[in-house]
Amino acid sequence: MARAHTSPGAAQPGPDEVSRAEPAADPPHGGPRLPRVYVPRSRLWERLDHATGSAVTLLVAPVGAGKTLGVGGWLHHTAAPQAAGATWIHADATWTPDRLGAVLDAAVATPDDVQTDPRLVVVDDAHALPTATVRLVDERLTEAPERLRVLLVSRWDLPLTRLLPELLGNLTVLRGDLLRMGDAECAALVSEHAQTTDPEVVRAVTNHAQGWCAVVVLAARAVGAAPDPLAAAQRLASGNISIADRVASEVFTALTPRQRHLLLCVAAEGVVSAGFAVHLAHDPLAVDILVDLENTGLLVSRVPSDSSSDDPLSTRYRIHPLLVEVIRRRLVAGGVDVAQARASVVRAVHLDLARGLAEGAFERLVGVNAQEEAADLLAREGVRMALSRRSAPEVLDFVRRHPDTVDARPDTWFAVALDRWVCDDLEQARHWIDRIVEHRPGGDEAGHPDEVLACVRLWRARLGLEPVYAAVGNAKRVMIASRTKPSSDDGSAAVLPILASELGVAQNWLGELAEAEASLSVAVGLARAQGQPAMVVSALSHLAFTELMAGRERTCAEVATEALGRLESADAFRARNSPSRAALALLLSGLVDLPWPTEPIEPLGAGTGTTVHGADLCTRFWLRMRDARLALTAGSVALAERVLATPLEHPLLADAHLPDHLRAALLLERSFLAALSADRHALRALESELAALGAAGETELVGGLRADLAGDRRAAADAFEAAAADATYSQPPSRALALVCRAQLLDALGQQDEALEVMAEAATATEVRRNAVPFLGWCRQGTPVASLLQRLDGVSTSPWVHELAAATADRPDITSVFAPVTATPREREAVLPAVVRPVLSPREREVLAELARGSTYADIAASLFVSENTVKTHVSSLYGKLAVSRRSEALAVARSQHLL
């Protein structure tokens, strides 16, 4: 791209000269077209000539300072070689790191391997770049500044590394004072826009504007439009009226009626195409009006486009932010022109809705202050809006700015409550939920549909405000009745996917897993039919937990994978809790499968925090279970116990209020940890709690672990047999666990054939689930699991048995792994808590680990390739740091303080 309206040697316009040359329709660098009236910004241009020789130049100035036109004029007139072939980018959220990186790479590409400086890339509105894209520029500035030549034009500072690049001359920051216009520049601009050279007028506008370009132009236009410019300038000089208010009353009056009408219709759009402006304003001449306004150099600016289309209707325009504020105030003030503009926009919105184009409709109605029409749309389309579009603050802003309108429209309350619920704003959601429940319609006013009331009751149940069973029973009745309603009942139809999903979530919580699976499957189908991808992803992620709790880990993984795969088609904000939920289900199902992890597992979102909805009870419960299991896989029984003992904030998540299936899972998880730490008293207490739940098989399983810990093999084998015959819950796999433990004990008691039969039964029970946890080796008194699986593999043709045998071949039982490093209850009680945790050297840790293995000094010396005297020295140092005098005390302290 050439830079060029002047040759490098051409003279630049002086500071007192006003440029009137008509610029090319499409500037070669892709930047803005200069207006007919343009004042050169010589001071800025001189600094840009020098500053842009560095890798990155950051120009920071507030809105209306003239940044874009200042840089655009420099590109038109500069003789600086670095601007040759410059590329202009108008930044927005679509400029991802990959997209900008491609432009930067293209700027350094040179033909025939000729070494040249990179071409300049100008990024206008750089403050709108995504954070990741700014990080890309920062990384290149730090790592390869010689391959970078960028001019960032921003309203505020960007988070770039400053100190070293500035010291090295790779980064130059220019501030807004360079854009402050001098008196001569202001005078030239005022005389053009106010159409007067009266020194009093020029002085008043110049003093009021204080050198800021936008204020100079707006004030000059307002003064020039007044019947008495001098009197208007004197009022301006008095300082008792703000520039925005004055422009609203005078500059707007100076515009033609068609110009005012068009701007009132399109200002809320931000960026609008000429064709859509024609549609909104219902004016076929809107294209010509936009072009005319653009030529003023302030009110409207053309947005550069990547498209090569010559169709004038596709050209996009941006209304200046100062003018947008002026129009907003005008819309609030009202008037005949406002009423006409509002009617035009309402007409355009109704036409769009009739064609099925609802995107942006609500924002447009709110933008022109059409309160009643916006409330109508919120009542009719609010549910779909809340589920299928990006997070829009317009709904919440509308509620805050027009409380009387919303208060008088009960049919909008559910949409507002749903919007707040999806946004996890539970305080506001509860307010509207209570309003819906307490509403008592009178006269001809219709009440809320049964589907809405049923959904609201389920929300209240999840917040702990009413019994879950009652809310679920009511929702079931409503779902059955909804099948007989006519399909034309759009209000109820839009709520059905939400109701089905919320019903499935509540059923998950209660343990009604078969019914939950049916409800969530219905929710997925309805959401797909109604084009609600975020709702599909949410329901699938909850369905994955249904499969997990039902003991179908393999299916859970499949459903969770499908949910994660559908994220690209769903709105990221509306589905923002679903990825964490699906990833958690996928992780939990993967933890039990083969191959077993060989390194610590980093769960999804561990660095940034897992996003969980405040009323998502099942996910919060299983999140705690995940943390405990990861702590155990990392080698710490004590940390896993602390995680499970930590109470959660929600009242329904207190241990006493958990539903039976989740409470049983929690008690069994604690039982396994108690067995690993040889805590007989904890096992007895947990056995009693499970008995109180009526979970006979699970009670026998814990009883078997307690008998095994006591060394009573026969009693333990009998208890495990009873557990396998009467296991109540699918999670954890109590039956398979009991079978494997019984097989271990039977083999140790000399009943080898029966032991293999029982082990084969356990393998069959876990093959479909691919749950290998029962084969970790939870029994202390029995034969190691690896030995039994090797023998079973010799007579079995099952691929699952072969996988298990291969996985356990070189792995000791889990009880053997944790026994040397886990403190017993007696050791915890005997060892006083340390004020300061001892700091051991790497060699001392190695010696401590060998002591835990039972190695002699000679064994340790041979293992570490040191002398026995060196080993004794390290042991003596260990004893001193741990404040003990013998090996057993050292190991007790090390286990209690998690030094092993």
Tens-place pLDDT, residues 704-725: 999 999 999 999 999 999 999 9
Confidence of residue 5 (pLDDT cuts 50, 70, 90): very low
CATH topology of domain 825-896: Arc Repressor Mutant, subunit A (1.10.10)
Q: 804 with 594: CB under 8 angstroms?
A: yes
Give the least confident one: 170-184, 434-448, 820-834.
820-834
Which range (172-176, 439-443, 549-553, 748-752) has the least confidence? Answer: 439-443
Which CATH homologous superfamily contains domain 398-590? Tetratricopeptide repeat domain (1.25.40.10)
Is cis: bond before 8, omega within 30 of 0?
Answer: no
| Cα-based torsion angle of the residue sequence 517, 519, 522, 523 in order, rounded to the nearest 10 degrees | -110
Per-residue pLDDT tens over the stretch 229-279 = 777 777 666 654 555 455 545 556 667 889 889 999 998 888 889 999 999
Q: Is the pLDDT of residue 158 over 90?
A: no
Query: What sign results for the dihedral spanned by CA atoms 692, 696, 698, 699?
Result: positive
Q: Which helix (H) or strand (E) holds 337?
A: helix 336-354
Token duo for residue 601: 């597992």
Pinpoint the alpha helices (H) of 402-532: 403-407, 413-422, 426-438, 450-462, 468-482, 490-510, 513-529
| pLDDT recorded at residue 187 | 80
Within its chain, how far is the Cα of 851 from the centroid? Answer: 48
- Mean pLDDT, the chain, rounded, equals 83
What does the DSSP assignment read for 850-888?
HHHTT--HHHHHHHHTS-HHHHHHHHHHHHHHHT-SSHH
pLDDT at 20: 44
- DSSP, res 439: -
Indicate the fold that domain 42-179 takes in CATH.
Rossmann fold (3.40.50)
First CA to last CA distance, the chain: 66
The Cα angle at residue 6 between residues 5 and 8, in degrees rounded to 5: 135
- pLDDT band at residue 9 using 50, 70 and 90 as cut-offs: very low
User: Fold match between 42-179 and 257-369?
Assistant: no
For 275-322, how does the pLDDT look when each residue is reduced to its tens digit (9 = 90+)? 999 999 999 999 988 887 776 655 677 777 666 566 778 888 888 766
3-state SS of the chain: helix, strand, coil percent to 5?
Answer: 65, 5, 35
Please tell me which residue, 428 or 849, carries the higher pLDDT value: 428
| Structural domain spans, the chain | 42-179, 183-254, 257-369, 398-590, 659-818, 825-896
The pLDDT value recorded for residue 30 is 65
What are 150's strand-pairing partners? 56, 121
**Nearest residue to 900 (alpha-carbon basis) of 808, 832, 858, 838:** 838
Q: Which of 102-116, 146-160, 246-260, 304-318 has the highest mean pLDDT?
A: 146-160
Percent of the chain beyond pLDDT 90? 39
pLDDT of residue 24: 40
| Number of alpha carbons in the 13 Å side-chain half-sphere of residue 539 | 28
* Predicted confidence (pLDDT) at residue 108 exceeds the cutoff of 50: yes
Distance, in Å, from the CA atom of 429 to the CA atom of 459, rounded to the nearest integer, reads 9
Q: Band of the pLDDT at 607, cuts 50, 70, 90?
A: very low
49-56 mean pLDDT: 88
Q: pLDDT of 410-423, one tens digit each?
A: 999 999 999 899 88
CA 877 to chain centroid, in Å, comes to 50
pLDDT of residue 311: 76
pLDDT > 70? residue 835: no
The structure tokens listed for 148 are: 């970078």
Q: Which of 474-483, 554-563, 607-616 has the lowest mean pLDDT?
A: 607-616
CA distance linking residue 593 with residue 591, whole number of Å = 6
Tens of pLDDT, residues 180-200: 777 777 787 777 777 777 787
Q: Which long-range contacts (CB under 8 A, 24 or more apart) does 451-458 make?
A: 451/478, 451/482, 451/492, 451/495, 451/496, 451/499, 452/414, 452/495, 453/478, 454/478, 454/479, 454/499, 455/414, 455/495, 455/498, 455/499, 455/502, 456/414, 456/417, 458/499, 458/502, 458/503, 458/505, 458/506
pLDDT value at position 831? 57
pLDDT of 8 > 50? The answer is: no
Q: What is the pLDDT of residue 472?
A: 96
Query: What architecture (CATH level 2) is domain 257-369?
Result: Orthogonal Bundle (1.10)
Which pLDDT band, with edges at 50, 70 and 90, does 164 fall under?
Answer: confident
pLDDT at site 6 = 32
Lowest mean pLDDT among 459-473, 645-659, 751-765: 645-659
Contact 592, 773 (CB under 8 A): yes
Tell me the pLDDT tens digit for each residue of 576-605: 788 889 999 999 999 998 887 766 666 654
Q: Whole-angstrom Cα distance, residue 454 to residue 800?
A: 46
d(CA 267, CA 311): 22
pLDDT for 573 equals 54
Q: Could you tell me which residue, 795 or 237, shows the higher pLDDT?
A: 795
Task: Read off the pLDDT band of 453 (50, 70, 90).
Answer: very high
Q: Is the pTM of this model over 0.85?
A: no
Helix, strand or coil for residue 56? strand
Specify the pLDDT at position 444. Answer: 63
- The answer to whether 860 and 893 are in contact (CB under 8 A) is no
- How do residues 332-349 score in pLDDT, each as one tens digit? 888 888 999 999 999 999
DSSP string across 665-698: HHHHHHHHHHHHTT-HHHHHHHHHHHHHHT-HHH
CA distance 3 to 27: 8
pLDDT of residue 236: 66
